[in-house]
Amino acid sequence: MYLLIVNQCSANLVLAQKISERSNRFGTGAGSGLGRLLSIRFYRLGSKLVLWDINAKALDETVKMIVGEKDLHNHQNGDHQRIWTYAIDLSDRRKIYETAENVRKNVGSVDILVNNAGLVSGKLFMDIPDEKIEATFRVNTLAHFYTIKSFLPGMINRNHGHIVTIASVAGIYGVSYLTDYCASKFANVGMHRSLLMELSQHNLDGIRTTLVMPYFINTGMFAGARPGIFTILNQEEVADRIMQAILTNRQEIVIPEKLGFLISLINLTPNKSLWRIFDFIGGCELMALFRGRQKDL
């Protein structure tokens, strides 16, 4: 079994496979946040890990946390190696394809892919520089396409695998100060659901999909954000929920679940009333004091 965790600054992508099926695993975001926590959990279950991150130092820190200082020397010398690390910029399409090819040659096929990459600017629409908008879509959205295109053919050949998209509740309803982020996450949700339709259309029932839509998490990515009536989620608890969803083949999950129920009600609400509802729950000023994650490590 292999797990590839890929990271882009505050970005995460995880590719994994069911532990009991003795297969390979992949993902992004291993240098921090959910990617790091998921890496630790999969390793504890016996997985081999392939870690991607733009920050090589952050990857090293993740490896230390996973194997411990005592076993780090053996890992560095390749003894009983269960972890492979790659420093990669997820905004570079060519690098994604090249690194994916290296993974296939050196590690093997991938069975579970978890896309969790994400950048956020936290600015009003007219204040977002064009280059920031482009960077957000390259990492948050396009990287998901390229990683899936890299590993889906092998899944199709085997009719076996699992694609996990860690999107956001911001991908099913808009939020002030997050126009670029919401748009990229809406794209993730649309891509994921459309891909599920294609897999079903071609009777590829051995390839599972899981769409994860969490509220804001205390990974530092949304530091300064006001939680409103919903508290910022604990990253350890979210990682546990994601693992449970992957291992039990949940198709979609909103975290917390009560927020999913509220969003369903909002979708039935007349547009004239929506602003008042969002103002009441704190959605309009949620990002007003946003400062974001400080530079990692």
Q: Is residue 27 part of a domain?
A: yes
Q: Are 13 and 25 in contact (CB under 8 A)?
A: no
Q: Assess if residue 294 is contained within a domain.
A: no
Residue 243: burial class (beta carbons within 10 Å; 0-12, 13-18, 19+): middle
Q: What is the CATH number of the domain that holds 137?
A: 3.40.50.720
| Residue 116: inside a domain | yes
Q: Residue 144 falls within a domain, yes or no?
A: yes
Phi, psi of 204 (to 5 degrees): -90, 65
For residue 181, indicate whether it is catalytic: yes
Task: Tell me what pLDDT residue 198 has.
Answer: 98
Per residue of the chain (297 residues), give pLDDT as tens. 445 544 443 333 344 445 544 455 666 666 678 888 988 988 888 877 888 888 899 889 989 998 875 566 555 544 447 888 889 999 999 999 999 999 999 888 888 888 887 888 889 999 999 999 999 999 999 999 999 999 999 999 999 999 999 999 989 888 888 999 999 999 999 999 999 999 999 999 999 999 999 988 876 555 555 666 667 889 999 999 999 999 999 999 999 988 777 777 766 766 666 666 666 656 556 655 555 554 443
Residue 289 phi, psi (nearest 5): -105, 20
CB 30 within 8 A of CB 37: no
Q: Which domain holds residue 178?
A: 2-281
Domain count, the chain: 1
On whether residue 246 sits in a domain, the answer given is yes
Within a domain: residue 111? yes
Note whether residue 122 is domain-resident.
Answer: yes
- Indicate the angle between helix axes 93-106 and 143-158, nearest 10 degrees: 30
Greatest CA span in the chain, whole angstroms?
Answer: 63
Asked whether residue 198 is assigned to any structural domain, the reply reads: yes
Model pTM score: 0.82
210 contacts 250 by C-beta, under 8 angstroms? yes
Which residue out of 2, 43, 177, 181 is catalytically annotated? 181
